[in-house]
Chain A
Amino acid sequence: MDRRSFCLNAALGTAGTFLVPKMLADHGVILGHNQKKYKISTRWSQADVARNPVNDCHEMVQDSRGRILLLTNETRNNVLIYDKNGKMLEAWGTEYPGAHGLTLFNENGTDVLFICDNQRHQVIKTSIDGRVLMTLDYPKEAEVYASKEAYIPTETAIAPNGDIYVADGYGQDYIIQYDANGRYIRHFGGRGEGAEYLKNAHGVCLDLRNPAQPSLIVTSREQNAFKRYDLEGNYLSTIALPGAWVCRPVIRGTYLYAAVLQSSSRPWQKSGFVTILDQSDRVVSNLGGSEPLYENESLAEMYQTIRAFQYPHDVCIDDEENMYVAQWNSGKVYPYKLEPVV
């Protein structure tokens, strides 16, 4: 090798080092189908594991300042707050051993959080920095619970008028509706034979995409389905998602996004993926999952095809359409970030 080519190599090496981050962004693995494809980064979080550990990463939301909040059942810091680049900004919360559901509501211009704690059997409303504003105990008024232990809330959804819907997803699968002050209004759902009932009502969200007809979408995870109800709890329809253990529905723009904890075809084998439905409730993309296929208007069984995720538990879509994925029981991994490919 002559001196000139040695210099050339050295230069290339240096160029390589500098160029990697930029090039990486252009060459990462692409997940998804049709108009919803994403590049994945598993190294988004810059949290220091020694200072800010996580256990199960259950749910994520973005606040009105653009920050990304993560809820974990690690009581050293139940809530981790990041910027969109994965930099840790702050952390709080040591009193939520069963931290499971995280919902953000903008209450007259102020962000508030609703935390479902499935070990405390409570829903806790807090300020964005963790000050407790209200605690909802088990709903005695519903007269369906013999004890607080029978009630294991997993998720909340807040209506524009402030009504609180709590999904008792690991308890009796009821949806309990309260007014903004936490007064019991009614309950519906629960278990039973018939389309209006639920099994593992793990998530709930408000669907305001059709302003003329606001509705609730509730997860019936073990039935591999979402079920739609009106705001008074009358059952409307079922969105069948064969093969998919869907977690909570997350609506942004005209799309509905959901983490799929696992595939029915490979239960408890880290067989999760992420699914995306359009406004007509049709699956348009599966991230790490099978290509959506409709045969005679019915959706063919879905399943994991790429082991990008283990047990994804929630997705969060930020104001720039980026996706964050939190995972349960997946080796205490921090969330992943996925950027849309256009």
Chain B
Amino acid sequence: MSKNSKQSFFAGILIFFSVLASAQDTFQLAPPLLRFPSIFFDRSVQVEAEFRQPESSIRYTLNGWIPTEESPVFDKPVNISKPVTKLSVRTFAKGYMPSEMVQVNFYKMGKKAKTLRAPLPHPKYLGTGTDALQDGLGGNTDHNSKTWLGYQDSVMIELEFGDKTSLEQIMINTLENQNAWIFQPSSISVYGWDYLFGRWRPIGGSRPDSGERQPDVRCAMQTVTIPKPIKTDRYRLIIRSLQEIPVWHPGKGKPAWLFIDELILH
């Protein structure tokens, strides 16, 4: 056999196997199971990952980048202590497409209000009561979890600190699971009690993209930055639920669910 024909013989083999490969079912891996007590922590939090699939690996990053096969292997618990950390994980195995990426944000806890008043959630999603909003627990994406409070209407929360406190940033953790009719809030307004004029003064707000299609089930942290903090001991938050589900959704025109599990006050 000449050198040329040898080459083309191997080329033939190559074509042959690539035909084979394309005719097969190629499956994607599922993401790994992550375990952690909460996405909120005082000093640090330990995260474990598990994926009982032979000859596979879990890879992760802590900087928001998409994990690749070159990223560190998640083979022992990862400790997180920075104020805001984005953990990204994916699974890899020979013969399968890598999994989708799963990202979890971890947050260091802020100041706690002395008293917190919030309306009772829907009877089906009472969670552990309105104290859950300041218990440092939450961040899983299962809406049946006891950490979540579920509402079918807008929610007004009043906070009292006991002494004058200047809030610069308020974070509200919400759930997004559009298949389960759970959407981000349509808007958030923050008010501080103005003792001089004896009225609630609007001091900040945000308008999330609540009606935008989001196939993933995820936590959506709503961050409201207060441009000009004031000194007061009383604050009011109005978190408006999405009143009409958008037209692309099977529940179009009906009110969406609003799920909240934690407030972080800085």
Contact = CB atoms under 8 A, between A and B. Distances in A.
Interface of A: 1-2, 4-6, 8-9, 12-13, 15-17, 19-20, 23-24, 27-29, 40-42, 263-269, 271, 288, 290-291, 293, 300-301, 303-308
Contacts of A263: 30
B81 interface: no
B25 A29 contact: yes
Contacts of A13: 12, 15-16
Contacts of B95: 29
Interface stretch (B2-10, B155-163, B233-241): B2-10
Nearest to A291: B52
5 contacts: A5-B8, A20-B23, A41-B25, A291-B54, A303-B30
Contacts, number: 101
B19 A290 contact: no
B52 A307 contact: no
A238 B26 CA distance: 37
B142 interface: yes
B20 A23 contact: yes
A110 B75 CA distance: 57
A24 B22 CA distance: 10
Given A12-B12, A27-B24, A41-B25, 8 more contacts: A12-B15, A16-B15, A16-B20, A28-B24, A265-B33, A266-B31, A268-B217, A306-B27
Contact of A290 (B27, B53, B96): B53
A16 B53 contact: no
List 5 tightest A-B contacts by C-beta distance, closest first.
A5-B5, A12-B12, A290-B52, A305-B53, A5-B8
B71 interface: no
Contact of A24 (B7, B20, B31): B20
B2 A268 contact: no
A92 B64 CA distance: 54
Contacts of B5: 2, 4-5, 8
A268 B4 contact: no
Contact of B29 (A20, A40, A307): A307
A13 B4 CA distance: 18
A6 B5 CA distance: 8
B214 interface: no
Nearest to A264: B142
A250 to B, nearest CB: 23
A267 B13 CA distance: 44
B46 interface: no
B128 interface: no
Contacts of B177: 268
Contacts of A4: 5
A2 B20 contact: no
A267 B144 CA distance: 10
B36 interface: no
Given A13-B12, A23-B20, A305-B52, A271 B4 contact: no
Nearest to A19: B16
Contacts of B24: 24, 27-29
B30 A9 contact: no
A224 B249 CA distance: 29
Nearest to B34: A265
A12 to B, nearest CB: 4
A24 B16 CA distance: 12
